[in-house]
């Protein structure tokens, strides 16, 4: 994977500067351009119109704000995932190890986003908007942004490992089909179930009713899953705007060396500076 893409770009830039320096020293300074400086005190006139947005008006309208529909969530959720024998053995070992202490919560303590599929399973709203050749999905949880490119590009053959992967999309009738690959090793399928390098996620976004949006998610991972895992997430249309989500602002998780991170609500602390006030006596 291209985990060193940024470093490679920096090194390439340094090399180009090193090559250019002798030429500049021999030929003297570059000639001054005669192009007039723009007037920054006045707005530009005769700006071209964004006519490319006309193309998205033929798409089925999935735009807007969508909140998780808890009534449908548990009734439509898929059966548990079926793991390969090695993955099941690792999960059993993980469960036994943390049976008494609870699971390590390193990601939560450090406010790392969950990635897929966990990001779409949060109890927070999402918002969908359209741009030319692209559908954008925002999540209130962790303030994440997902881009679904509909311009016909192919999935990257050697994707960078992102928390939410790299996505391309196309329309099948009124269904938006999104394929995603390339996931960070810091994300998991579920607690105690790390994904493999070949995990692939396909989502089918469609309206079940005018006010119910379904995200049907199919996850394939030959290193971990014995068969594709299908789960449905249901959202209801709403108008309440997304709010700012800053995990670190009120993160009450603390880390320790032995167990990684455990929940600390701080309810036993009588701190006068606590914005939530002292503990309430029952």
Average pLDDT in the chain: 84
Query: Is the predicted pLDDT of residue 117 greater than 80, yes or no?
Result: yes
CA distance 92 to 107: 21
pLDDT 10s digits, 50-100: 999 999 999 999 999 999 998 775 555 556 899 999 999 999 999 999 888
pLDDT 10s digits, 165-196: 999 999 999 999 999 999 999 999 999 999 99
Query: Is the predicted pLDDT of residue 24 greater than 50, yes or no?
Result: no
211 versus 259: the higher-pLDDT residue is 211
256 versus 197: the higher-pLDDT residue is 197
Q: Which CATH code fits 58-238? A: 2.40.128.20
Average pLDDT of the segment spanning 133-153: 97
Task: Kindly tell me the burial class for residue 93, based on how many C-beta atoms sit within 10 Å of its own C-beta (0-12, 13-18, 19 or more).
Answer: exposed
pTM, two decimal places: 0.78
Domains of the chain, by residue range, sit at 58-238
């Amino acid at each position: 994977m291209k985990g060193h893409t940024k470093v490679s770009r920096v090194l390439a830039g340094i090399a180009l500067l090193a090559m250019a320096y002798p030429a500049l020293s021999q030929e003297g300074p570059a000639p001054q351009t005669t192009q007039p400086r723009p007037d920054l005190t006045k707005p530009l006139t005769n700006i071209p119109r964004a006519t490319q947005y006309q193309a998205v008006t033929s798409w089925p309208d999935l735009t807007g704000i969508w909140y998780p529909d808890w009534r449908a969530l548990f009734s439509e959720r898929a059966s548990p995932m079926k793991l390969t024998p090695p993955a099941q053995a690792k999960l059993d070992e993980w469960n036994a190890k943390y049976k008494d202490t609870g699971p390590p919560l390193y990601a939560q303590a450090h406010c790392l986003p969950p990635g897929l599929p966990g990001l779409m399973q949060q109890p927070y709203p999402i918002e969908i908007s359209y741009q030319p050749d692209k559908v954008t999905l925002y999540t209130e949880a962790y303030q994440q942004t997902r881009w679904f490119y509909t311009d016909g590009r192919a999935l990257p053959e050697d994707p960078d490992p992102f928390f939410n992967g790299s996505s391309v999309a196309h329309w099948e009738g009124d269904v938006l089909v999104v394929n995603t690959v390339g996931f960070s090793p810091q994300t998991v399928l579920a607690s105690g179930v790390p994904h493999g390098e070949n995990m692939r996620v396909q989502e089918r976004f469609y309206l079940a009713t005018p006010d119910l949006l379904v995200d049907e998610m199919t996850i394939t991972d030959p290193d971990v899953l014995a068969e594709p895992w299908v789960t449905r997430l249901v959202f209801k249309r709403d108008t309440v705007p997304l709010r700012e989500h800053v995990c670190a602002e009120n993160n009450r998780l603390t880390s320790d060396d032995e167990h990684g991170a455990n929940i600390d609500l701080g309810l036993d602390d009588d701190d006068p500076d606590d914005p939530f006030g002292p503990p309430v006596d029952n």
